[in-house]
Copies of this chain bind each other. A is one copy, B any other.
Amino acid sequence: LARDHFIGVDLGGTKILAEVIDRRGQIRSRAKRETPFRGDGRDLVAALSETIEEAIGRSPVARTRIAAIGLGSPGPLDPDRGILLRTPHIAARRVPLGKRLGERFGVPVILDNDVHMAVLGELEAGAARGCRSVVGLWVGTGVGGCVIQNGRVVQGINKNAGEIGHMYLDAKRAVAGREKGTLEWEASKTGMTRHLEKEIRKGKKTRLSGKLHGDERLHSSDLAKAFRAKDKLAVEAVRHSARYLGIAIANLFNALAPELFVLGGGVVEDVGSPYVALVREHANAFAFSTELSKVRVVASKLKDDAGPIGAAAAARRKLAASGS
Chain A residues with CB under 8 Å of chain B are: 75-76, 78, 85, 133, 145, 147, 149-150, 154-164, 166-172, 174, 176-177, 186, 243-244, 247, 250-259, 282, 285-286, 288-293
Contact = CB atoms under 8 A, between A and B. Distances in A.
Nearest to A145: B255
Contacts of A171: 169-170, 186, 243-244, 247
A169 to B, nearest CB: 4
The majority secondary structure among interface residues of chain A is loop
A292 to B, nearest CB: 4
Contacts of A169: 168-171
Given A170-B172, A250-B168, A256-B154, A291 B149 contact: no
B167 A255 contact: yes
Given A169-B171, A292-B76, A149 B154 contact: yes
A247 B158 contact: no
A288 B76 contact: yes
26 contacts: A76-B289, A76-B291, A76-B292, A85-B291, A133-B157, A145-B255, A155-B257, A156-B256, A157-B257, A157-B258, A158-B257, A158-B290, A160-B289, A161-B254, A161-B256, A161-B257, A162-B255, A163-B288, A163-B289, A166-B254, A166-B288, A167-B255, A168-B169, A170-B170, A170-B171, A177-B285
Contacts of A172: 170, 172
A257 B254 CA distance: 17
Contact of A254 (B163, B177, B243, B244): B163
A257 B247 CA distance: 21
A251 B167 contact: yes
A85 B161 CA distance: 33
Contact of A176 (B163, B257, B286): B286
A257 B156 contact: yes
Contacts of A282: 176
B147 A256 contact: yes
Contact of A75 (B164, B166, B289): B289
Contacts of A252: 255
